[in-house]
Amino acid sequence: MSHWKQPSKLAMLVVLLLLLCHAVDKVHCSTHHNNSQDFHSLLEFHKGITSDPNEALSNWNPSIHFCHWHGVNCSFTRPYRVTELNLTGQNLAGQISSSLGNLTFLHTLDLSYNSFSGPLPLLNKLRNLDVLFLGSNHLGDVIPDWLTNSSNLVDLDLSENNLTGHIPSNIGFLTKLEGIALYNNNLTGVIPPTLGNISTLEVVDFSANQLSGSIPNKVWQISNITMLNLGQNNLSGGIPDTLSNFSSLTALGLNNNKLGSALPSNIGDVFRHLNELYLDNNIFVGTIPTSLGNPSSLEALDLSNNHFSGKIPSSFGRLSKLQILNLELNMLEARDSEGWQFFDALANCSSLNILSVSQNL
């Protein structure tokens, strides 16, 4: 007769747990780090942190699976592969380790609003990266050429750093890009014409740099763009007369440059969905086009400190949502009743709360 012994309930429970852990690999039944490459890449990044006043990385230790570390998200379809690292606004300091370039499944890297210094990390292996936010740090050096090989990038923010050198000439290789922010750096050189090859672009902000030269004609042909801010640079030239594809534009900032010539007569028809237009502190000449009274959503219009002459268009009276109108420091005139018609017309602008026409003729 067999003396087979019935297993205890405890032993059966252990077996069931082991089977469950084996079958459902997305459940972290232990703290074993299933992908050593991602684990060690994150540890190397951690070593580069010299200050963590908020203790944002306090749970970054081997006793906890790295997919549960603060700021880390992993894939559901590819277990234990890091797809997102988001540590924005944690007051972290140190250098960003290039070990992050080994997180080959990374889609989003957001280290913005910290105090990182040093050069941009080498991330040329991140073929899946679509969001790169490193803005509002103290990063220096130049924008590396490898960045333009990140062909899946959709949003790029390197603003408010200490970047120098030129914007890479092959920036146009980023054909999926929708938003690019490089403002408040020390970038020099010209705006690359290849920027106009990115038909998906919606937001471009290169303001507060030291860019020079003219605005490439191809930039004026990006049909999906909603916001273009090139203010506070050393740009020259003007706005071309051949504008036709900017109907999506809601905000245009070209202030504080050296832009000149006359404005296109149809500027208000082409930019018919504008909310904000800043052309102040340039050397624009000629009369103010009457078509600027056509964008029905216009809320802010600043043409101050230029060389505009002639009469102020009474068509501004059609701008029912206008809140700010600054025309000071030009050569505009109102010598007769016809010249003052604009003033009567502005009575229709019920939202207007700032009006300046001082220091004109």
- The hierarchical CATH code for the domain 36-356 is 3.80.10.10
* Structural element, H or E, at residue 268: helix 267-270
Distance, CA of 129 to CA of 102 (rounded, Å): 12
Cβ-count burial of 115 within 10 angstroms (0-12 exposed, 13-18 middle, 19+ buried)? Answer: middle
Distance, CA of 185 to CA of 208 (rounded, Å): 7
Distance, CA of 62 to CA of 31 (rounded, Å): 7
* Structural element, H or E, at residue 308: strand 307-310
SS (H, E, C) 201-246: CCEEECCCCCCEEECCHHHHHCCCCCEEECCCCEEECCCCCCCCCC
For tokens 């102040």, what's the residue? 280
Q: How many CB atoms sit inside 10 A of residue 172's CB?
A: 17
Q: Of the candidates 32, 36, 71, which has an alpha carbon nearest to the alpha carbon of residue 52?
A: 71
Supply the DSSP symbol for 9: H
Supply the DSSP symbol for 321: T
Q: Which residues of the chain have pLDDT under 50?
A: 1-7, 10-32
pTM of the model: 0.89
Amino acid sitting at position 312: I
Beta bridge partners of 209: none
CB 315 within 8 A of CB 287: no
Q: Of the candidates 126, 72, 61, which has an alpha carbon nearest to the alpha carbon of residue 100?
A: 126
318 contacts: CB under 8 Å, gap ≥ 6: 293, 294, 296, 345, 348
CB 336 within 8 A of CB 312: no
CA 186 to mean position of chain CA atoms:
16
**pLDDT computed for residue 107 by the predictor:** 98
Q: What is the CA radius of gyration of the chain?
A: 28
16 contacts: CB under 8 Å, gap ≥ 6: none
**pLDDT computed for residue 291 by the predictor:** 97
* Domain ranges, ordered by start, for the chain: 36-356
61 contacts: CB under 8 Å, gap ≥ 6: none
